[in-house]
Amino acid sequence: MAEPPRAARPTVVLAGGRGSLGRALADAFAAAGHTVVVLTRSPRADAPHLELGWDGRSLAGDWGHLVPGSILVNLAGELVDRRPTRRAVDRLTASRVKPTRALVEASRRHGAPAVWLQMSTLAIYGDAGETRLTEGSPPADGPPQMAGVATAWEHALAGAAAERLVVLRTGVVLEQGTPALDRLTTLARRFLGGRVGPGTQWVSWMHVDDFVRAVLHLATASSLSGVVHVTGPTPVRNRDLMRALRGALHRPWAPPTPTALVRVGAWLVFGSDPALALTGRHATPDRLLADGFHLEHTDLDEALADLLG
């Protein structure tokens, strides 16, 4: 007797799919048999996955009808690596809130996605110090460029129609070619890879391969909803991260960078927010682990050797 045909896998609608994480997710979903549609302001006919135009703030364009029954992944938002001015905070907030509100409107007008995976960040907890963060921990009141932007991003989901909605509070995803890892490796290669500031601040990290696998798990093999920490189970202190980087790049011990110099260098040299380097969060993926998800890269030295070797 012939086997019955397999049910078609839901279409993946990916907003913000032009970034490195978006490209990795698009390729992984396609390899798993899904049709992937990337929403972008400048679609290309020669892109590896179908791209449709949208303005990131309204229902303009021919994409809303794809939302019902889909796996909707919202990564849209500009990089936070910029000086923490009021104008920058407003721009970062708008780059996240406006696309999210457009997707909410699409879900209400056209129909609910089967799964909505909403990107967020562990920065919503601000500078958490020694607090051990779980999915039940409350967001912080600041700083504005971190907790403020993230809180507005999550609040923009209000009114969303979705059969299941997961908020991905994500740690530092280690991946080649990303600003975070590239900056750290550049410093280490130039023999400037000492601890940053006090060096005691916690870094919650995850290998990019585990990030992609976790998102696919949450999309297709899980019933979880609500806030989920998408990060690894072994946070490290900044001093240990820098030590591991030096080891992966075969660099010797380097002197620490004092906090005052970090503040000046971030603002004047890198055009960045010093809080990105000087604050920390110890967060663990309790719900992912309880859901049966297994991470392949839990040792920082091994993960960096895999990425940089």
Residue 150 maps to a domain: yes
- DSSP letter at 124 equals G
Distance between CA atoms of residues 123 and 83, nearest Å: 16
Residue 112 maps to a domain: yes
205: CATH: 3.40.50.720
Residue 163 maps to a domain: yes
**Angle, in degrees to the nearest 10, between helices 20-31 and 208-220:** 50
Distance between CA atoms of residues 294 and 209, nearest Å: 12
Asked if residues 167 and 136 have their Cβ atoms less than 8 Å apart, the reply is no
Tokens 């992944």 sit on residue: 73
92: left (phi over 0), alpha (psi -120 to 50) or beta: alpha
Alpha helices in 221-257 (DSSP H): 238-248
Sign of the C-alpha dihedral, residues 87, 91, 184, 125?
Answer: positive
Tokens 């019955």 sit on residue: 4
Q: What is the pLDDT of residue 48?
A: 96
Residue 5 maps to a domain: no
Tens-digit pLDDT string for the chain (309 aa): 455 445 579 999 999 988 999 999 999 999 999 999 999 999 999 999 999 999 999 999 999 999 999 999 999 999 998 999 999 999 999 999 999 999 999 999 999 999 999 999 999 999 999 999 999 999 999 999 999 999 999 999 999 999 999 999 999 999 998 888 998 999 999 999 999 999 999 999 999 999 999 999 999 999 999 999 999 999 999 999 999 999 999 999 999 999 999 999 999 998 999 999 999 999 999 999 999 999 999 999 999 999 998
Asked if residues 113 and 107 have their Cβ atoms less than 8 Å apart, the reply is yes
Distance between CA atoms of residues 23 and 36, nearest Å: 11
Residue 156 maps to a domain: yes
Asked if residues 295 and 233 have their Cβ atoms less than 8 Å apart, the reply is yes
* Closest listed residue to residue 196, CA positions, set 127, 132, 265: 265
Specify the 3-state DSSP secondary structure of 194: coil
- Tokens for 249, please give them: 């790049």
DSSP string, 72-122: EEE-------S---HHHHHHHHHHHHHHHHHHHHHHHHH---SEEEEEEEG
Distance between CA atoms of residues 31 and 77, nearest Å: 25
Distance between CA atoms of residues 301 and 245, nearest Å: 8
The pTM assigned to this predicted structure is 0.96
Range of the domain at 250: 12-308
Domain count, the chain: 1
